[in-house]
Structure 1
Amino acid sequence: MRTFLILVLSFCFAQLAAAQDFPYGQISTDELNMKKYAKDTSAHAVVLREYGKAQIVVANDDNLKIMFEYHVKIKIFDNKGFDEATKMVSLQNNDENSDEVEKVTGTTYFAGSDGSIQKAEFDPKKVYTSRDDKYQSTFKFTLPALVDGCVIEYTYRLVSPIGIHLYEFHPWAFQSDIPKVYSEFEAVIPGHFNYNASLRGFLKLTKNTSSVLTGCFSTHGAASDCSDIIYAMSDIPAFIEEDDMTSPKNYLSELSFDLVEFTNPYTGTVVKETKEWKDIDYLLKSSFAFGGQLKHKDLLKDRILPVYAGKTDDLEKAKAIYAYLQKWYKWNEYIGNGSDGVKKAFESHTGSVGDINMSLIIALNGAGINTEAVLLSTRDNGLLNDLYPAVNKFNYIIAKANIGDKSYLLDATDPLMPFGMLPLKCLNDRGRVFSLDKPSYWIDLNLPQKETSTSMMDLTLQDDGKIKGTITNYSIGYEAYKKRVAIKKFNTTDEYVEDIAGKFPKLKILKSEITNLDSLDKPVVEKYEVEINIYNKMGAGSLTFNPFFLDRMTTNPYKLTERSYPVDRGMPGDYRTTLLMHLPAQYVVDNPPKAVGIALPNNGGRFLTDFQASDDNTFTFSHIIQLNKSIYSSQEYPYLKELYNNIIQSEKAEMVFKKK
């Protein structure tokens, strides 16, 4: 689902705009005495007013910079809202320039013992900058004297060299994790620069005006008018994150600006920045980090040839090469969509996503298997905007091996990932396929992979009150991958089994067997012989039993009254539990569970339970959860939420074993 609204910046129908910052230090007794926010009584804090202004200016050092000024006033109701008093600003750096924060002011207002408005001023010396990496730092400050019911106010200025931020003018986030009464942003952009503004999210502007500021920009004899545009929203709800979603930036109401073209004020040269896909294709093919690597398809041929020697089937060749590179490389935790040198990375046995997967593409092509590169944006990086092709929106690369009439998407960075399966982080809408000999095109990343788990329990209640038997768990597809990751965190499988037993004091694992752990294309099978000390006294007239004594769902992952963004699980799922229970001759099931059958609309999934009793004091209980879709719309959300409510209630119910 794409939630972009394009706002055309135009002088043609300019309206008179009158934007200005609100006065600093004007706090009313009503604001100080506010006990809760009427439109969101659960909020721990609320933005009373927020204003930002970004403009391209000629700085004192005669360089062009983007100057962003920010001013906010926030009501804090209780100590759970104190985090709002800490502000962190991300700073971009390069070898020559860096962002700088200046003119920080701040005040905390609170009620005195006599009801008067008291205030504590922020000490501008108490600011801190930490270096995150080579290209990014974080500027941080915290306002003082926080108490329940206080109001905080602060301002700062961020000055950025235009060389760092030219292509993306300063964005503005209308929505955050607390509600806002009013938020306004003003953009002042000289005529030398032409940007497209995109409003992302589900909320609408309550104000959007523009005017022309005549002669506002001048440098080295070049002058232009400016577009002065004002955007505002009122009564903005908090954005609440929940399980099964891609990046919040896909759905938060936020304004962003992408450069279309600019006229260099020093030379008069017009530079067009908005690209077509053919421009992106050429750029990538001619770049050292992409086309410069892929064109050397025989680079690894001598090293890879022995890997698939004797294999005549292309699929078997591809699997062998894939498995070889999975083991050869250690991923250095860096992502990326290109490589600074595949040969160097290969020789060092370590590399980024770009290094490893470009090695895979080169190796497969060298083996005669037609393989293309797929660039994508990971789930936490956000959805791609189809309207404006841009290389910098991609942050990941995978391989697309075309074998016969099928294509296989591959990521060799994880030694536990099966052939033809992608990690969840890559399952994000679509990717763009690039090769050296044809135009690029889109491909759907909604793959047929799914996660499936089946648990089969064969248990006997003995006369001494202990339950003995076997538990066999089958993990299939992506569930098998997750299981392997969980097991490999331990030094041995014995440690993994001990960890399971340690979580359940009444459970004793007498014997265990885990198979197919290293066979990535097969299910992981766990078989346990168990003894459960569940009843101290068998003489009681009745015993309660819950089939989910080892793993019970107690919390609904979907809690919102309404969810404006989709549930994106990445893939379908199928989860089954079957219990075969043998009771002593003197016991029967007094209140067998009722069968449940609930289906989601549009064949979205279902929840089923069933109970079948036999004459020999044996019963079978089955429990099935099927989620047939990767993505559920916001309209389907209430049904999915109710399905999980029913699952929780079902798993909470207990059986009663009663003496005859």
Structure 2
Amino acid sequence: MKKLTLLVLLISQFTIFAQDYKFGKVSKEELKEKFHPLDSTADAAYLYRKRRTSYSYINGVGFQLVTEIHERVKIYTKEGFEMATKSVAYYNPDSGETESVSSIKGYSFSLVDGKVVKDKLTKKSIFKEKKNKSYSIKKITMPNIKIGTVIELKYKLISPYTNSIDDLQFQFGIPVKKIDYNIEIPEYFIFNKRSKGFYNVPMKKTAKNGTIGSLNYRIDVFGFEGDNIPALKNDEPFISSIYNYRGGMKFELTQTNFSSLQGSIKTFSNSWEDVSKQIFKSSRFGEELNKKSYYKDDLQSIVGNITSEKEKVAAVFQFVKSKIKWNGNNSKYTEKGVRKAFKERVGNVADINLMLTSMLRSAGLKANPVLVSTRKNGVPLFPTLNGFNYVISMVDFTDGTSVLLDATEPYSLPNILPARTLNWSGRKVTKEGISSWIKLTSTKHAIEDNNLMVKISDDMIVEGLFRTKFINLSALNFRKNNNHIKDESLITKLEERYNIEIDDYKVVNKDKITTPIVRNVKFISEDLIEEINGKIYIEPSLFLTVDKNPFKLVDRKFPVDFATPWKESNRVFISIPQGYKIEQLPKPLAIGLPDNLGVFKYQITQSGNKIRVTSILQFNNGIIAPQYYSALKDFYSQLVKKQTEKIVLIKE
């Protein structure tokens, strides 16, 4: 009973000093708080987060979108200091209408000798950075941060782009004690509202009046109030983007109706067909596909007398990859335009892959663009223009097969797309105006095949040869991550990762992308085995051992996303040192996941003075649904337990 009374008291006190949210009025109780009452592991927390998004009418200009933000953040640890730097992105193209960030105010509050010390944010701590051709950032650094500090910040984001309301975010990587959001939309704008993630805050709808001169109109107000929202941290492995799974609300414009203002009615993304057609009609999409004269001569020399469809694809694909360099920008719309990108030899995703599609069509192939949402952009579950931020190319062959292509990645191959695009399904758009879903995930396993041969010297030093073959997406990723790095740096990384000393290092087929890439390493190590009381203890897979379960959560509500099916095969050959014999070998193990999702096979055998260790870890689906998480976690627990069992050698 005493414990219950204490709990009620704590909750009531928490409620009392969490109620005053007036800007600049932080309480001593908030500053004294040593840890979050409901999440003691939190490095920081939002004590309060308020957002108001509304439409403001300016004579001669029209409506503009105004978003006001007020944040109060408590810092509990040094790791929480990162919350004291805020980056506000806003649309700021080289030409055309721009957004702006204004009315920035902030304070840092700390408790010093029992007194509240208040430090004001100054203009010197506010910086403007150009992110790319389209976006800039206002970077705000709060002053005088300590453990225990509470920071408070307000700002406005003003946008002329009234058709797009930024997503509401209920959940973050830190807990939230209270949110208070209001979205106020004039009757002229009709939005679909879609929940995202796994945490929901109830919506309350009210209305109020607005005026433009003598004209009265209705404003729909959508309110969201939430308390004690748990963090969804970004510390679990194998996830495309944690943002996609944090609770929130999306607003997607479906119609504008200005008929009462002598305007027109416009309908937007009510269906996937509408979305596809609207994108295709854009001058920076469909019209770009029809431009051909700039590559006419080159195409003739590339294709020549080739008659095979697949050889044509290979020739055109390789030409575009080598001709145009990707500038790193994603978009479904061209940035420079295909002609300029071709001339300057650089462009964004759409510049390159729409050009590729056009050239493939001109070569007599049935090629079409495929709209994609990258892994970081989320999965478009409902008809939405903003859901796609990327485009690739697809060719349908006369034999009924097809191939997906992305010429932004120099190491990609037909049907081997870069990981960023492997996000469920894309939307193929044909020149006839028809669209359909296309599965993006490859059926080909990303393969890493390891061979490790070692011998143990009399003074217990391990000498060995380590050969790894990378195939499919594994090869693409290896080339992309390593081909530009000097061997000396790669050797250092491997030595640190595996606790070995490398005597020789060589990579074969670095640029022959149609063949597997092979890495050969000659090494020695004093740290791979243990000698205790005359016995030798060896982890059978040596430095290839999986010794920790990557899955820590009791329950996981979002999928495990490997991006693609994958397979890792290990073969380890250990020469038994002279004068020793085997006392103990781990027993074999074969386990599987439900519905043929994955398998682990492990076996150790002896032949003469050789020990052979064989293991295969294979997943047949790139995405493991949440209902299989418990089975996957147990699967890895068994795997770790088995791989960490020791071979024991004793003296003869």
> Smaller-chain TM-score range?
0.7 to 0.9
1:188-226 deviation per Cα after TM superposition (whole angstroms, max 9, x unaligned) = 222222222222111122x4322221xx32224432022
> Any conservation in 1 of the 2:371–2:388 contact (CA below 8 Å)?
yes
Q: Aligned partners of 1:63 and 1:222: how far apart in 2?
A: 14
CA contact (8 A) 1:105 1:124 kept: no
CA contact (8 A) 1:465 1:535 kept: no
Distance verdict in 2 for CA 1:632–1:526, change over 3 Å: same
Contact 1:109/1:119 (8 A) holds in 2: yes
Give the counterpart of 1:374 among 365, 370, 380.
370
- Please name the residue that 1:15 is paired with: none
Cα distance in 2 for partners of 1:425, 1:537 equals 42
Q: Aligned partners of 2:509, 2:54: CA distance in 1, in Å?
A: 60
Alignment partner of 1:419 is 2:406: no
Within 2, Cα distance between the matches of 1:521 and 1:46? 50
Secondary structure of residue in 2 paired with 1:146: coil
Match of 1:608 among 601, 604, 621: 601
Q: Which amino acid aligns with 2:359?
A: A
Do 2:445 and 2:620's aligned partners in 1 also have CA atoms closer than 8 Å? no
**Contact 2:530–2:538 under 8 Å retained in 1:** no
- Given the alignment of the two structures, is residue 181 of structure 1 paired with residue 177 of structure 2, yes or no? yes
Q: CA separation in 2, counterparts of 1:27 and 1:341?
A: 52
Seen in structure 2, the aligned counterparts of structure 1 residues 606 and 280 have a Cα distance that, compared at 3 Å, is closer
Q: Distance in 2 between matches of 1:597 and 1:636?
A: 18
Task: Name the CA shift for 1:480/1:600 in 2 (closer, same or farther; >3 Å).
Answer: same
Query: What's the CA shift for 1:97?
Result: 4.3
Tell me the residue number matched to 2:468: 473
- Select the structure with the greater relative contact order (CA < 8 A; seq sep ≥ 6): 1
One-letter code of the match for 1:77?
Y
Q: Does 1:393 align with 2:392?
A: no
1:239 shift after superposition = 1.6
Which residue in the other structure is 2:341 paired with? 345
Q: Percent identity?
A: 26
Deviation at 1:412, TM superposition (A): 1.6
Letter in 1 for 2:194: S
Partner of 1:588 in structure 2?
581
> Corresponding residue for 1:234?
227
- Equivalent position amino acid for 1:369 in 2: L
* TM-score (normalised: structure 1): 0.86
Q: Which amino acid aligns with 1:225?
A: R
Give, in whole Å, the separation in 2 of the partners of 1:302 and 1:172: 50
SS in 2 for 1:412: coil
CA RMSD in angstroms, aligned pairs only: 3.2
- Find the counterpart in structure 2 of residue 108 from structure 1: 108
216-225 or 620-629, which deviates more: 216-225
- In the alignment, the residues of structure 1 paired with residue 611 and residue 197 of structure 2 have an alpha-carbon distance, to the nearest angstrom, of 52
Aligned to 1:622: 614
Q: How does 1:177-576 map to 2 (within 5 A)?
A: 177-205=173-201, 207-213=202-208, 216-241=209-234, 242-264=236-258, 267-275=261-269, 276-296=271-291, 300-339=295-334, 340-386=336-382, 388-390=383-385, 392-403=386-397, 404-463=399-458, 465-468=460-463, 470-490=465-485, 500=494, 506-509=500-503, 514-528=507-521, 541-576=534-569
The worse-fitting range, judged by mean Cα deviation, of 39-48 and 569-578 is 39-48
Distance, in Å, in 2 between the alignment partners of 1:590 and 1:232 is 65
Q: How far apart are 1:564 and its partner, in Å?
A: 2.1
Give the SS at the match of 2:626.
coil
Give the conservation status (yes or no) of the 8 Å contact 1:173–1:254.
yes
Contact 2:541 2:613 in 1 (8 A): no
Distance in 2 separating the partners of 1:221 and 1:21: 38
The 1:597–1:504 alpha-carbon spacing in structure 2 relative to 1, beyond 3 Å, is closer
Give per-residue Cα distances to partners, 1:535-566, cap 9 Å, x unaligned: 99999833333344444445543333332211
Q: Report the Cα distance in structure 1 between the residues aligned to 2:120 and 2:417, rounded to whole angstroms.
A: 52
Q: The residue matched to 2:110 in structure 1 has which SS? A: strand
| Cα distance in structure 2, aligned partners of 1:539 and 1:273 | 77
C-alpha separation in 2, matches of 1:423 and 1:31 = 47
The 1:288/1:73 distance shift into structure 2, 3 A limit, reads closer
TM-score, normalized by length of structure 2? 0.87
| Structure that is richer in helix per residue | 2
- The more displaced of 316-325 and 62-71 is 62-71
Partner in structure 2 of residue 4 of structure 1: none
Deviations 1:431-486 (A, max 9, x none): 11112124111112122132111112333335565555543322222112223334
SS state of the match for residue 635, structure 1? helix
Structure 1 397/529 Cα, relative in aligned 2: closer, same or farther at 3 Å? same
Change (3 A) 1:580 1:368: same
User: For residues 435 and 582 of structure 1, do their structure 2 counterparts lie closer, same or farther at Cα, with a shift above 3 Å needed?
Assistant: same
CA distance, structure 2, for counterparts of residue 253 and residue 153 of structure 1: 23
Which residue identity is paired with 1:67? V
* Per-residue deviation, 1:641: 3.0
Deviation string 1:10-55 (CA, Å, 9 cap, x unpaired) is xxxxxxxxxx994345444443332322321111222223222221
Instruction: Tell me the distance in 2 between the aligned counterparts of 1:539 and 1:652.
Output: 17
| Whole-angstrom distance in 2 between the partners of 1:151 and 1:467 | 54
Amino acid corresponding to residue 626 of structure 2 in structure 1: S
Measure the CA separation in 2 of the matches of 1:527 and 1:108.
55
Q: Partners in 2 of 1:442 and 1:598 — Cα distance?
A: 35
- Going from structure 1 to structure 2, the CA distance change for 1:189 and 1:389 (only over 3 Å counts) comes to closer
The equivalent residue for 2:650 is 658
Deviations for 1:78-135, whole angstroms, at most 9, x for unmatched residues? Answer: 332233233332222344543334443333333342x454544444664333333343
In the TM superposition, what is the alpha-carbon distance from 1:304 to its structure 2 partner? Answer: 2.3
Please report how far the alpha carbon of residue 173 of structure 1 lies from its aligned counterpart in structure 2 after TM superposition.
1.2
Give the whole-Å Cα distance in 1 for the aligned partners of 2:472 and 2:350: 25
Shift of 1:377: 1.2
Deviation readout 1:560-606 (Å, 9 max, x if unpaired):
33322111111111111112222244211222123233322332212
**Distance in 2 between residues matched to 1:633 and 1:76, nearest whole Å:** 35
The 2-side partners of 1:79 and 1:495 are apart by 31
For residues 495 and 142 of structure 1, what CA distance do their matches in structure 2 show? 34
CA contact (8 A) 1:468 1:530 kept: yes
Q: Residues of 2 paired with 1:102 and 1:485: CA distance?
A: 40
**30 and 468 in structure 1: CA distance in 2 versus 1, 3 angstrom threshold:** closer
Distance 1:539 1:153 in 2: 59
Aligned 8 A contact 2:51 2:182 in 1: yes
1: distance between equivalents of 2:288 and 2:571? 52
- C-alpha distance in structure 1 between counterparts of 2:250 and 2:466, whole Å: 54
Q: Distance in 1 between matches of 2:50 and 2:89?
A: 19
Task: Give the residue type in structure 2 aligned to 1:393.
Answer: G
Query: SS state of the match for residue 307, structure 1?
Result: helix
Deviates more, 1:350-359 or 1:565-574: 350-359
| Cα shift readout 1:375-402 (whole Å, capped 9, x = no counterpart) | 111111222242x342x43221111111
Cα 1:468–1:266 change in 2 (3 A) is: same
Within the candidate set 625, 640, 643, 1:633 is matched to 625
Letter in 2 for 1:621: V
